[in-house]
Amino acid sequence: MSRYQQIREEAYLGNRQLPALGLVMFNFGNLSVADPLQHVFAIKPSGIPYDELMPEKMVIVDFEGKTVDGNLKPSSDTKTHAVLYKNWKNIGAIVHTHSTYATAWAQAQRPIPIYGTTHADHFTGPISCTPPMDDEMISGNYEYQTGLQIINHLKEKNLSYEEIEMILVGNHAPFTWGKNASKALYNSAILESIAQMALLTEQINPNAETLKASLIKKHFERKHGPDAYYGQ
Ligand SMILES: [Zn+2]
């Protein structure tokens, strides 16, 4: 078995899930899976439809963004993935999509307020939205700078990437991550659902209040606290 076979398989299966979960249209999304020991990740090749993917078509890239194995061009967002893996030692997979509702909040440049318990099950505050990137970042190494924008924003907000596994990049779209492909995909799907529910909440009641502290605490802790008991 080739030294990259396992991450290629996992990245292949993960990318196939993106259209199945309704998170992408055409080629608008990508998933990668890292092997931290070998300092590489497997990512979707650029421009290949999801139903034509195969494990061997996944491109192997190092944490500097350089292709180390594979015949195809890696996803155009590869450098963003590389920067995140390089800086965040404990993540195993990253997902980027333009899923409709999460992207709409990113385009509106608004963090998603915590309106409900689905949101509180995963995080106790709003889902952050980075500021739009400035012109210098956009005209320079854009995809690399997108990764830095995410890292710097979490730092400014005093948030750890292990605490919150999702973010909106202002004017662009969401990125999610996790310890493996299933967790990063799960985060992507949950984020889309939270984004949709928050929009509907504001439409039904423009003055809707965010969740009260006791409910946030209850929901977060039953899933993540020392005495977690949540399971469905
Ligand atoms: Zn994008």
Instruction: Compute the distance between CA of residue 80 and CA of residue 5 in angstroms, rounded to an integer.
Output: 23
Which one from 35, 62, 121, 144 is the annotated catalytic residue? 121
230 is catalytic: yes
- In-domain check, residue 230: no
Separation of 175 CA from ligand 1 center, angstroms? 9
Residues of the chain with confidence (pLDDT) below 70: 1, 230-232
Q: What is the pLDDT of residue 1?
A: 64
- In-domain check, residue 94: yes
Q: What is the CA radius of gyration of the chain?
A: 18
pLDDT digits (tens, 9 = 90+) for 48-69: 999 999 999 999 999 999 999 9
- In-domain check, residue 123: yes
- In-domain check, residue 229: no
Residue whose pair of structure tokens reads 């008991």 in the numeric block:
229
Instruction: Name the residue among 134, 22, 152 with its Cα closest to residue 84.
Output: 152
Separation of 146 CA from ligand 1 center, angstroms? 10
Separation of 112 CA from ligand 1 center, angstroms? 19
- In-domain check, residue 131: yes
Q: What is the pLDDT of residue 230?
A: 66
- In-domain check, residue 231: no
Instruction: Name the residue among 176, 197, 155 with its Cα closest to residue 93.
Output: 176
CATH of residue 117 = 3.40.225.10
Q: Which long-range contacts (CB under 8 A, 24 or more apart) does 101-105 make?
A: 101/192, 101/193, 101/195, 101/196, 101/199, 102/168, 102/173, 102/174, 102/191, 102/192, 102/195, 103/172, 103/173, 103/174, 104/195, 104/199, 105/129, 105/168, 105/195, 105/198, 105/199
Separation of 121 CA from ligand 1 center, angstroms? 27
Q: What is the pLDDT of residue 224?
A: 81
Structurally, the chain folds into a number of domains equal to: 1
Residue 97's domain comprises 5-224
